[in-house]
Amino acid sequence: MTILVTGATGNVGRQVVEHLVKRGADVRALVRDPSKASFPASVSVAQGDFLDVDSLRKAMSGVSTLFLLNAVVPDEFTQALVALNVARSVGIERLVYLSVIHADVYVNVPHFAGKFGVERMIEQMDFKATILRPAYFIQNDLMIEDIITGYGTYSMPIGGKGLAMIDVRDIAEIAALELLRRERSAEPLALERINLVGPQTLTGADIAAIWSDVLARPINYEGDNTEGFEQNLKQFLPAWMAYDMRLMGERFFTDGMLPEAGDVERLTALLGRPLRPYRDFASAIAASA
């Protein structure tokens, strides 16, 4: 049987494919442009797009388990609903969906609200699914690497509540393990949600202190200005996305991204090793700076 990975050329999807291949799975990757895709030889490539229904039908034909990952785009919700409807029509019922932590709390943030709507559809359509809810990706901070190392400032709007930041590599491995668990089960497994969190919950000041330590010089936290954050993002992101990110930052301040009791222990047991801490990421950047 075949596992179809969407978002397969992105950072998470590409790593999911690699983990599945290493574990002997039959993998198909959905991509827009096969000429730009580079996968192990055993991976079959399907050209398609979430809004091209015929291409989705073809890509999903013969698939038993689906990894659904939608990019943050204006029509993300529509893309996900189309994909789920097509999946159901071709007989797919085993699914792993990459949502976001607190999707039901950050209700005014567009891409959070969209993912929560997808979660509800998965439930209503009775998919046998794992809904993965990751917190803030540690690798998001690559966007401000030059600001940290060059100007001595940590400028992400993290606030004082704290975020349980998780490494993208851990997200991808957990997703692959869940896909395999569902794919290899004799019977479809019941729906469940899993919060994907890192080993620590860090505030903006905590992260600045880590950077100060690994770079051996003061790094100041200056991320509490969400208006300035939005304006900076508009230099390289569409205005709607910059505003979406600002709204998310404001919810960081009021709600944080906090794990539930037992989340860290559950993920550690699933991986069979400790979760990667933020300090490892910062230390690697410092070593190459």
List pLDDT tens digits, range 120-155.
999 999 999 999 999 999 999 999 999 999 999 999
In one-letter notation, the amino acid at residue 136 is Y
| DSSP-derived pairing of the beta strands 26-31 and 44-47 | parallel
For residue 36, what pLDDT band results from cuts at 50, 70 and 90? confident
**Helices 110-124 and 239-255, interaxial angle, to 10°?**
80
What is the model's pLDDT at position 18?
97
Nearest-angstrom CA–CA distance, 289 and 284: 9
Instruction: Give this prediction's pTM.
Output: 0.97
Residue 256: name the closest of 132, 108, 101 by CA.
101
Residue 161: name the closest of 71, 249, 89 by CA.
249
Confidence check: pLDDT of 92 > 80: yes
Share of the chain above pLDDT 70, in %: 100
Calculate the CA dihedral of residues 172, 175, 180, 183 and round it to 10 degrees. Answer: -140
